[in-house]
Amino acid sequence: MSATSTEAASKREIAIEVPAEEVSRETDVLVEKYQKLAHIPGFRRGHVPPTVIRQRFAQEIRNDVIDALVPKYFRKETERLGLVPISQPRVTDLHSDQGEGLQFKASFDVMPEIKVEGYRELRAEHPGVTVQDEEVEEALEALREQKATFSAVEGRSLTDGDYAQVSLDGIPHPEERGAKPVHMDEVLVEVGGSNTMPEFSENLRDRNPGDERSFEVHYPEDFSDQRLRGKTFAYKMKVNAIKQKSLPELNDDLAKELGKFSTLTEVRETLRQGIEQDRRRAAEREAKDKLLAELIRRNDFSVPEILVERQIDLRLERGLRALVSQGMRSEDMKKLDLGRLRTGQREQAVQEVKGSLLLEKIADEENITVGDEEIDREIEALSRQTNQTPEAIRARLTRDGALDRIRNRIRSEKALDFLYRLSA
């Protein structure tokens, strides 16, 4: 076996020659296999002469020899050269003459040589986190709203501040492709409320139980519900009852209703701690993103195309799953311009691959490892999220080859944590 190699960034091409005796030995093995299985008129099964097998199945045997020897000798040669392929080889210039060896060329990608420098000099923001009393009160008011009660009002029409208990059906405009009809029974709509679309309030004022109204609503492009955003719906609405909202008093009795609290002071302190923790996590996440971006800027390198394509695949898969969870129909999914979507994901995918490779290199430099107990904790978390047993989760991850991906992700997160602490 002999080989030559040429290098261009992360691309490699090697020329490989399989010795004639190896080709002959593999051919003899296959001829014997075909002898046992072949059905040829005039011969008993298992007693077909080798010369007949070689003539009758010449092309099939040649293909099988290639299928057996090309991967085997490709693997041997890359190991001999100390190369680690990250893509399947593209085989060209394949020659296999009878009685001679097998020659071919294989093109493939390898991991680029990465040198990470200056990471110990990186600095990141570690901002302090404060929570204003007004923010705590807003959060407390939101909890108070959850404990609101609604009582029926009789003898008058709807006015601003009232809650109309309505049934409604909404039909999307014919041009609204992908929009689904809306049907709701006994929903409460605040007349004149800040979050109520003006068309609903206009058609509810001065109405009485039993009244019915038909009207159109055009939702703004920034509407909170993505299913309605930017779309026009024709509604039929019936008023069933008039309700008034009553909020509980802000006292220790409310605190006891909200959970394992004795006083309202305890509730406020818990809310403050929660807001502070969320804010600190968000600030840390933003600081780490900036830190990683600066690391990439200081250590730029060419990324193998195969890794970029894989990352684009992952990003698209996550995006499409999100669309399905939001109610997008399969027929609408088919209309998506995947080529345009892939192009739009490319820049971010390149940055993500660079960041991942640099963090992996830092983890190597700093001897950062991931213990089995960390994998166990991850599996336990997935078990709680999916209501499956840890054993079932582990079996599925092992079958899909995902355990190594989880280990690598945790290792990268630990490397970024290391950088963040170092940058203080």
Q: Could you read off the pLDDT tens digit of each residue along the chain, which spans 424 residues?
A: 444 433 456 788 999 999 999 999 998 898 888 888 777 887 777 777 888 878 888 888 889 999 999 999 999 999 999 888 888 899 999 887 766 789 999 999 888 888 899 999 999 888 888 999 999 999 999 999 999 999 999 999 999 999 999 999 999 988 877 678 899 998 999 999 999 999 999 999 999 999 999 999 999 998 888 888 889 999 999 999 999 999 999 999 999 999 899 999 999 999 999 999 999 999 999 999 999 999 999 998 888 888 999 999 988 888 888 877 777 777 777 778 888 888 899 999 999 999 999 999 999 999 999 999 999 999 999 999 888 999 999 999 888 888 888 999 999 999 999 999 998 8
The string over 280-315, giving b where at least 16 C-beta atoms fall within 10 Å of a residue's C-beta and e elsewhere, is: eeeebeebbeebbebbbeebeeebbebbbeebbeeb
pLDDT of residue 4: 41
Long-range contacts of 137-145 (CB under 8 A, 24+ apart): 139/271, 139/274, 139/275, 140/250, 140/264, 140/267, 140/268, 140/271, 143/258, 143/267, 143/271, 144/247, 144/248, 144/250, 144/254, 145/247
Distances (CA, A) of 257 to 136, 138, 296, 375: 18, 18, 51, 38
pLDDT of residue 164: 95
Contact assessment for residue 106 and residue 10, using Cβ atoms and an 8 Å cutoff:
no
Closest CA to 42 of 57, 33, 30, 52: 52
pLDDT of residue 9: 61
Boundaries of CATH 1.10.3120.10 in the chain? 258-422
Domain 3-109 fold is Alpha-Beta Plaits (3.30.70)
Contact assessment for residue 127 and residue 420, using Cβ atoms and an 8 Å cutoff:
no
pLDDT of residue 335: 76
pLDDT of residue 98: 66
Q: Class for domain 258-422, per CATH?
A: mainly alpha
- Cα–Cα distance for residue pair 74/129, rounded to 1 Å: 56
- Cα–Cα distance for residue pair 397/388, rounded to 1 Å: 13
- Rg (C-alpha) for the chain, rounded Å, is 34
pLDDT of residue 31: 87
Q: What is the crossing angle of helices 403-422 and 372-386, to 10°?
A: 110
For 149-246, CATH number out of 3.30.450.40, 3.30.1600.10, 3.10.50.40, 3.40.50.300 equals: 3.10.50.40
